Structure 1
Amino acid sequence: MISSTLFNLASIASVAFAAADCTGINAVAPQCVSQEALHYRDFFYIGGRYVAGAAGNLTYDQLYVEKLTPAAGVNQSKPVVLFHGGGTSGVTWLNTPDNRKGFASHLLDYGYQVYIVDQTSVGRGSAENLNDYVMRIGSTAEITEKGFTAPELTNAYPQSQQHTQWPGSGVKGDPVFDAFESTFIPLTSNLTVQELSMRSSGCQLLSLIGPSFLISHSIGALHPLLLSNDCPSLVAGNINLEPGNIPFQSYVGNTTSSVGRTSARPWGMTNTHVTYEPAISNSSELTYELVGDDTPAKRSCYMQTGTIHKLTEIAKVKYVALTGSASPHITYEHCVIDFLEQAGVATEWIKLADKGITGNGHFGYLEKNSPQIAGVVHEWVQSNC
């Protein structure tokens, strides 16, 4: 009798679990099954420095690093290091907002040793020095809708009407959107001090793990470019998903209009010194002008004028950008490619639509066809090992 009762209870529980709603944050429930690749996880803090204060010595500028090792073993010759974009943290590479397999898991399935960083001052990255790391908002729901998840509703650029890959409505109140918006956290307004700390700790990380492929998203593309300048022999390749470091300017909130365009990155694609030839000691020695017609479908770009200075160290590393067909970046990503090529950097620009991968916005690696995007990254790595 007792055994029969227990069996019936177990059957009822099994049915209840099977019927559980695992949408968005509901997947936190124990009965919801993870889609992530089986792996081992370790964490480390790399770099940093002691700074004496009234309370004693504090550690500043250390880089948070997660090491993910596929349970089936590593079968790729070089690791990959993932750099998140602005307003998010390293968790963006884990499961998607609708709880599909995340980008890191796709790479684990291919057999890569995967490292995920939180930029200094962001997430679990060091932010002890609050005087330097003055924080600002990561994103509002309105910025996210217009720039990331539902650009087709605003129709700020014609390509936005091709956006089909976001999982859900892409607007506030949708459980997938709300789960995604909750991942946005404050980021520093002082990109100069952040770049300096990331350069030091980033090269130290690479010295410990060996030459690696660096994969970035959006403004996270700043850091692989700087590491390519500072320790190019340790960067096997620079893979940028929708790089956000457009030369000499920034599109605030991922807008595409000239109204949201501001001056930025005085060293071209960075806020801090990079090596140019002929050599310069101050960014003011770079001269540039706005070129090209400026339309909603294709924005004008800043290019060097007069003496063309070459990025001789950065040019030692292979560079590729991947851009979605419906993203705001499809209207201005050519600026990144044109500037780097003018500066002597051999680049490759993969428009995902040319690979038959269509409908993607700025966060393509979280969208419904993210496995196909991961496949393009894997293919590029294999071709450039």
Structure 2
Amino acid sequence: MKVSQSFLCAASLAGISVCFSTTASATYCVGINAVRPQCKTQESAYYRDVFFLGGQYIPSGTSFIMSDQLYVEKLTPLNGVDKPYPLVFISAGIPSGSVWLNTPDNRKGWATYFLDQGYQVYIIDITANGRSGQEDLSKYPLRIGSTVSIHEDGFTAPEIVNPFPQSQGHNQWPGNGTKGDPIFDAFFAATVPLTSNKTALELSMRAGGCYLLGLIGESYLIAHSNGASYSALMSDECPDLVRATLNLEPGNIPFQSLIGNSTTPAVGRTTARPWGLTETPLTYDPPVTNVTTDLVTVEVGVDTPALRSCFIQSNTTGGGIHTLPQIAKVPYVMFTASASPHITYDHCFISYLSQAGVTDVTWIKFGDLGLEGNGHFFFLEVNNMELVKVVEAEIEKRS
């Protein structure tokens, strides 16, 4: 659609005339184009406070640096808070916590939606990611956060490589989901490095997350992908401060890692998270003293592209089944999209948690509610405002 626009021109120092549009249109202000001053924001008005919480001084040469602090944004509705419990948003780190604010095509994000409903909202950047911490590279060596192939095949356009049958239903991403598409480019540009030291990261997130909750009180944790590792750690460390965890396609698949959804064992599937949901210790009963000998796993199910096999505890070795008494104190809610790789393996969480004595578990598959076509980053997709209402309903019934 051709849009009539007026322009304001001025001479630059080099004598070149530079012109700016003084009007805006729906097409003119899509995605990163909305950075232009003429474009009206899609966000709601709110108050914003910024904090760096926790952290410790550590030696650096002849002086010190601060390490392990969490960047926290406190967002408060302009008209005040009228919900009893805050929401804490935790991303996987690719992108950082900014992913909750708006979508790559500049529509309203989930943080704004919940502000509109009267919630107190907190957004964090995980340790050594985004704006959290001054990275001590000896403690937090950095690695790439993702690649174009990982993004396209697993997040924005799985239907092209077709690694699992359900991928053919993916149709909710705002754009074609590939490199060169302006919406994909805006999304991928937000990718930031992660640390390869998962042990230090998890220990820091356990401490820093519970420190935050100790200051703000009992809260709901909304965690996406590998962010669910950190909601699990906080549930284990300070369950009385966690109202419930809302896990959006949790990436901490018990005892394994799956990337690309290949059914070839040597491709995309590796052993991971020896403690089940985490790389670092969780509170088990009976206590786990040697994770290698106490948490022995067994593969269950036939591994197919449409339904992956799972790893759970073996009940014949390792001294019997070990339960998770701390995590069991916290309601666990999981959301899975119909055309994401997670639809093929999120059932593994149900098997693992049930075996470990976690009984307050709710699994919501959006496809069962008639909400079809979504991928792994469904909270950024075209129908994100329909999906968020499902999540809100789970929060409301527990408040």
Instruction: Give the TM-score of the pair, scaled to structure 2.
Output: 0.91
- Matched residue pairs, number? 377
Alignment partner of 2:99 out of 50, 71, 92: 92
Is 1:241 the counterpart of 2:248? The answer is: yes
Contact 1:118 1:125 in 2 (8 A): yes
TM alignment of 1:109-120, pairs within 5 A:
109-120=116-127
Q: CA deviation at 1:27?
A: 1.2
Is 1:315 the counterpart of 2:323? The answer is: no
For 2:394, the aligned partner's letter is W
Which residue in the other structure is 2:160 paired with?
Answer: 153
Stretches of 4+ aligned residues off by more than 6 angstroms: none
**Alpha-carbon separation, structure 1, partners of 2:206 and 2:128:** 14
TM alignment of 1:185-196, pairs within 5 A:
185-196=192-203
Which residue in the other structure is 1:349 paired with?
Answer: 363
Q: CA deviation at 1:171?
A: 0.9
Alignment partner of 1:277 out of 279, 285, 288: 285
Q: Secondary structure at the match of 2:65?
A: strand
Contact 2:273 2:279 in 1 (8 A): yes
CA offsets per residue over residues 90-128 of structure 1, 9 Å max, x none? 010011000000111111111110000000010001143
**Alpha-carbon separation, structure 1, partners of 2:124 and 2:140:** 18
Q: CA deviation at 1:378?
A: 0.8
**Alpha-carbon separation, structure 1, partners of 2:220 and 2:263:** 30
Task: Could you tell me which runs of 5 or more consecutive residues in structure 1 were left unpaired when the two chains were aligned.
Answer: 1-7
**Alpha-carbon separation, structure 1, partners of 2:370 and 2:82:** 28
Alignment partner of 2:63 out of 56, 59, 62: 56
**Alpha-carbon separation, structure 1, partners of 2:169 and 2:7:** 49
Q: CA deviation at 1:257?
A: 5.4
CA offsets per residue over residues 329-361 of structure 1, 9 Å max, x none? 000011112101110112111001122211100
CA offsets per residue over residues 21-71 of structure 1, 9 Å max, x none? 122211111111111121110110111111133232221100110000011
**Alpha-carbon separation, structure 1, partners of 2:25 and 2:211:** 47
Question: CA 1:290 to 1:67, structure 2 compared with 1: closer, same or farther past 3 Å?
Answer: same
Is 1:368 the counterpart of 2:382? The answer is: yes
CA offsets per residue over residues 113-146 of structure 1, 9 Å max, x none? 0000000010001143211211111111122111
Contact 2:51 2:71 in 1 (8 A): yes
Q: CA deviation at 1:310?
A: 0.3
**Alpha-carbon separation, structure 2, partners of 1:226 and 1:19:** 43
Question: CA 1:19 to 1:129, structure 2 compared with 1: closer, same or farther past 3 Å?
Answer: closer
Q: Secondary structure at the match of 1:329?
A: helix
Which residue in the other structure is 1:334 paired with?
Answer: 347
Which residue in the other structure is 2:337 paired with?
Answer: 324
Question: CA 1:292 to 1:100, structure 2 compared with 1: closer, same or farther past 3 Å?
Answer: same
**Alpha-carbon separation, structure 2, partners of 1:381 and 1:257:** 39
TM alignment of 1:194-343, pairs within 5 A:
194-252=201-259, 258=265, 259-284=267-292, 285-306=294-315, 307-343=320-356
**Alpha-carbon separation, structure 2, partners of 1:187 and 1:253:** 19
Instruction: Give the TM-score of the pair, scaled to structure 1.
Output: 0.94
Q: CA RMSD in A?
A: 1.8
Contact 2:21 2:38 in 1 (8 A): no
Q: CA deviation at 1:263?
A: 1.0
**Alpha-carbon separation, structure 2, partners of 1:254 and 1:41:** 39
Choose between structure 1 and 2: higher helix proportion.
1
Identity %: 55
**Alpha-carbon separation, structure 1, partners of 2:38 and 2:76:** 25
Q: Secondary structure at the match of 1:208?
A: helix
Which residue in the other structure is 1:5 paired with?
Answer: none
Question: CA 1:254 to 1:195, structure 2 compared with 1: closer, same or farther past 3 Å?
Answer: farther
